């Protein structure tokens, strides 16, 4: 008899707990208690990186600023890039002059100067020949030494060589440049122009502007810093509105469809904006579906994304609760 009283009390407690659980479940299945799905606010993020290791001379934005496409964000020092561009443009001018000279041929003035040079060299050769003949006569009369005759012969040979050289220069000017020389000069000019374009591009890259509109998330540098090439300077949220990322429990997956409407509950906000389901993952976030038995599948979560109907600024990472609006 002493053991029966506690057993009856246990049975009564179980009955009360079971009745309470049934009442709770019955209340949760009412139409006013639609299933709620948790998630968070996410933004598409881009990183503004340093194209070169140059000193930062200007920062035009602060964290939280709204920016438009093309708006200046950061200005890096351009002094070294401008010097490199000036040198590249001077190289282009040099190659252009060389190519034009070869393509158009020698000027009339250059040809006339070459002809005058030939005439002068011939005159020098005639004088050297006359001097050699005079010294040979003096040698026969034994009035000079053989060394003086040899010296006059050397001057004649040198004068003859200069005549030959001036004639060759004149012939080259009169015949014009060879096609291979003109083509080589043109190729060198194109290469110099390409290098100059690279320098111009490198100079423009030092002025960092927003590629897309959005909001500045973080500014990671200060004026005067010299970041490494490729180092992140600014992170930016892009777009007019964020995305809502939901974690859908497996039991609710079958009732989800693209285009479905949801009402959002946001921490700290009284309004309940609406959004549309645009994407639903076919694979669970963590454990694969086939790896769980039927009893444990309710632990699975599937990613889904909603698109807000109206542009709305919400901080990234803000918790969200969504329920079907239809």
236 pLDDT more than 90: yes
Residue 281 shares a structural domain with residue 261: yes
Segment 309-321 mean pLDDT: 85
CATH code, domain with 64? 2.40.50.100
Whether 196 and 176 share a structural domain: yes
pLDDT confidence of residue 33: 58
Label residue 176 left, alpha or beta by phi (over 0 means left) and psi (-120 to 50 means alpha): left
Residue 150 inside a domain? The answer is yes
Least confident of 31-40, 49-58, 165-174, 187-196: 31-40
Q: Which residues of 281-316 are buried (b: 16+ CB within 10 A; e: fewer)?
A: eeebeeeeeeeeeeeebeebbbbbbbebeeebebee
The answer to whether residue 15 sits within a structural domain is: no
Q: Is residue 160 part of a domain?
A: yes
Q: Which domain holds residue 217?
A: 48-79+207-233
Compare 234 and 142 and report the one with higher pLDDT. Answer: 234
Q: Write down the pLDDT at residue 69.
A: 93
The first and second tokens of residue 119, run together, are 């005439």
pLDDT of residue 200: 96
Q: How many domains does the chain have?
A: 3
Of residues 146 and 225, the one with the higher pLDDT is 225
Please tell me the distance from the alpha carbon of residue 88 to that of residue 202, in angstroms, as a whole number: 12
What's residue 12's pLDDT?
Answer: 40
Kindly state whether residues 295 and 150 are assigned to the same domain.
no
Residue 146 within any structural domain of the chain: yes
**224 occurs within a structural domain:** yes
pTM attached to this predicted model: 0.60
In-domain check, residue 22 = no
Better pLDDT: 291 or 216:
216
């Amino acid at each position: 008899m002493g053991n029966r009283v506690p057993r009856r009390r246990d049975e009564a407690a179980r009955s009360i707990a079971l009745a309470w659980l049934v009442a709770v479940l019955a209340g949760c299945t009412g139409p006013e208690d639609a299933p709620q799905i948790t998630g968070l606010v996410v933004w598409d993020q881009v990183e503004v990186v340093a194209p070169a290791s140059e000193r930062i001379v200007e920062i035009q934005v602060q964290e939280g600023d709204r920016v438009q496409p093309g708006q200046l964000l950061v200005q890096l020092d351009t002094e070294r890039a401008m010097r490199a561009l000036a040198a590249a443009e001077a190289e282009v001018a040099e190659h252009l002059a060389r190519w034009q000279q070869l393509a158009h041929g020698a000027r009339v003035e250059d040809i006339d100067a070459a002809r005058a040079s030939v005439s002068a060299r011939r005159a020098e050769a005639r004088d050297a020949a006359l001097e050699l003949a005079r010294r040979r006569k003096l040698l026969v009369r034994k009035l000079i030494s053989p060394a003086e005759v040899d010296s006059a012969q050397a001057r004649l040979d040198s004068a003859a060589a200069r005549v030959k050289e001036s004639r060759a220069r004149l012939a080259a000017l009169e015949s014009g440049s060879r096609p291979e020389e003109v083509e080589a000069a043109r190729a060198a000019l194109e290469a110099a122009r390409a290098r100059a374009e690279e320098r111009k591009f490198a100079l423009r890259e030092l002025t960092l502007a927003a590629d897309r509109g959005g909001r500045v998330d973080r500014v990671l540098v200060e004026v005067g810093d010299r970041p490494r090439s490729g180092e992140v300077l600014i992170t930016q949220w892009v777009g007019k509105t964020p995305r809502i990322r939901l974690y859908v429990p497996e039991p609710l997956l079958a009732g989800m469809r693209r285009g479905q409407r949801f009402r959002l509950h946001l921490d700290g906000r009284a309004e309940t904006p609406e959004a549309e389901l645009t994407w639903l993952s076919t694979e669970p976030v963590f454990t694969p579906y086939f790896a769980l038995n039927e009893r444990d599948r309710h632990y699975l979560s599937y990613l889904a994304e909603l698109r807000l109907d109206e542009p709305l600024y919400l901080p990234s990472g803000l918790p969200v609760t969504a329920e079907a609006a239809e």
